[in-house]
Amino acid sequence: MTSLESKYIKISSPAPHVLLLELNRPPVNAFSTEFLKEYGCTFDALSRHPDDIRAVVLSSALSNIFSAGIDFQGLVNLGANDTIDPARRALLIRDDVLDIQHAVTAPERCPIPVIAAVHGIVVGLGIDIISACDVRYAASDAKFSIKEVDMGLAADAGTLAYLQKITGNVSLARELAYTSRTFSSDEAEKLGLVSRVVQGGRDAVVAAALQLAKDIASKSPVAVSGTKRLLLHARDHSVAENLEYTATWNSAALQAMDLKQSVKAGMAKSKESPKFLPLRPKL
């Protein structure tokens, strides 16, 4: 596999076509400006990576924590400068916030499904991070907090934008956002923030997420990537708009060899998945 260099993210390939990204900034995976930039750039690089990566698992390399959120000491001072007037200072702050949002939402821009496997403490920006992932698994020891109101601000990097689209329990979502109270993995599942609670800690939830990633990686990469794109489009558009978009998308995607291979394997009742070409073949 072609190397993806990273200072704060451990990158490995524990199974064919599967990538494991482990946040690794001890002691608590707090996100500094440098860490956030690296995080976003890593996912953006995957979008055009030459290797045949079909599913990604995002976890923490630290044994007892996923992320404590933003490192306020290591983060740029959000445009703070008392020598300029408020209007110009506001523009600088806005630029800084947009940069943070761009990094946090990188998994959504990535055409490859991203599975978050969380354990231990998941606070503040940690929830922003996982909200932008496709699937979220939690270890039974996970503890969550939408911490921003305790810091004197509204969450601005993704949680509030995603949460009411992720969950059907808007009442609980607002309760947790208004109070910052800590909630368990079971309550996160009830909220809809996670789709599965895995008994145990880090190793157990990462193993479950990797198994899901292997299953996804066995499917047609054209079909999976297209499904991700169409699901995101459907979230943000009307049914009629999405159906029209889907028709246009599949007018190209249905011409892939993957369809014939899948149908042939299904008719033959083969227990083995077809061998699909990479989404981006090397020329």
Give backbone dihedrals phi and psi of 141, rounded to 5 degrees, phi first. Answer: -90, 0
Pairing of strands 143-145, 183-184: antiparallel
Sign of the dihedral through C-alpha 253, 257, 258, 259: positive
Contact between 227 and 220 under an 8 Å Cβ cutoff? The reply is: no
pLDDT, one tens digit per residue, over 195-209 is 999 999 999 999 999
Check residues 261 and 25 and name the one with the higher pLDDT: 25
pLDDT on residue 1: 47
Cis peptide before 113 (omega within 30 of 0): no
Q: Where are the alpha helices (DSSP H) in the chain?
A: 33-46, 86-104, 106-109, 125-131, 159-166, 170-179, 185-191, 202-217, 221-236, 239-253, 257-267
pLDDT on residue 74: 57
Mean pLDDT confidence for 216-244: 96
- Rounded Cα distance, 213 and 215, in Å: 5
Check residues 83 and 30 and name the one with the higher pLDDT: 30
Mean pLDDT confidence for 130-159: 92
pLDDT of 238 > 60? The answer is yes
**Which are the contacts of 87, defined by CB distance < 8 A and separation ≥ 6?**
none
Percent of the chain with pLDDT over 70: 95
**Which are the contacts of 256, defined by CB distance < 8 A and separation ≥ 6?**
220, 222
pLDDT, one tens digit per residue, over 78-102 is 555 678 888 888 888 888 889 999 9
Check residues 142 and 278 and name the one with the higher pLDDT: 142
pLDDT, one tens digit per residue, over 130-141 is 999 999 999 999
C-alpha angle with apex 153: 81 to 69, nearest 5 degrees? 95
Query: How many Cα atoms within 13 Å fall on the side-chain side of residue 264?
Result: 9
Ordered structural domains, the chain, with CATH: 9-217 (3.90.226.10), 221-267 (1.10.12.10)
Q: Quick one: DSSP state of residue 46?
A: H
Whole-structure pTM value:
0.92
pLDDT of 152 > 90? The answer is no
Mean pLDDT confidence for 243-256: 93
Q: 210: pLDDT confidence band, cut at 50, 70 and 90?
A: very high
* Class of residue 81 by CB neighbours under 10 A (exposed 0-12, middle 13-18, buried 19+): exposed
Mean pLDDT confidence for 35-44: 95
Per DSSP, what are the bridge partners of residue 116? 58, 136
pLDDT of 149 > 80? The answer is yes
Q: 275: pLDDT confidence band, cut at 50, 70 and 90?
A: confident
SS3 17: coil
pLDDT on residue 228: 97
Contact between 19 and 9 under an 8 Å Cβ cutoff? The reply is: no
Check residues 91 and 127 and name the one with the higher pLDDT: 127
Residue in the block written with tokens 């630290």: 62
CA distances from 281 to 49, 273, 277 (A): 10, 19, 7
Mean pLDDT confidence for 225-253: 96
CA 32 to chain centroid: 18
- Rounded Cα distance, 138 and 184, in Å: 10
**Which are the contacts of 128, defined by CB distance < 8 A and separation ≥ 6?**
104, 155, 157, 158, 159
Give backbone dihedrals phi and psi of 149, rounded to 5 degrees, phi first. Answer: -65, -25
Strands of 9-15's sheet, edge to edge?
9-15, 18-23, 55-60, 114-118, 135-139, 196-198
Residue in the block written with tokens 């489009």: 233
pLDDT on residue 128: 95
Mean pLDDT check: name the lowest of 31-40, 216-225, 271-280. 271-280
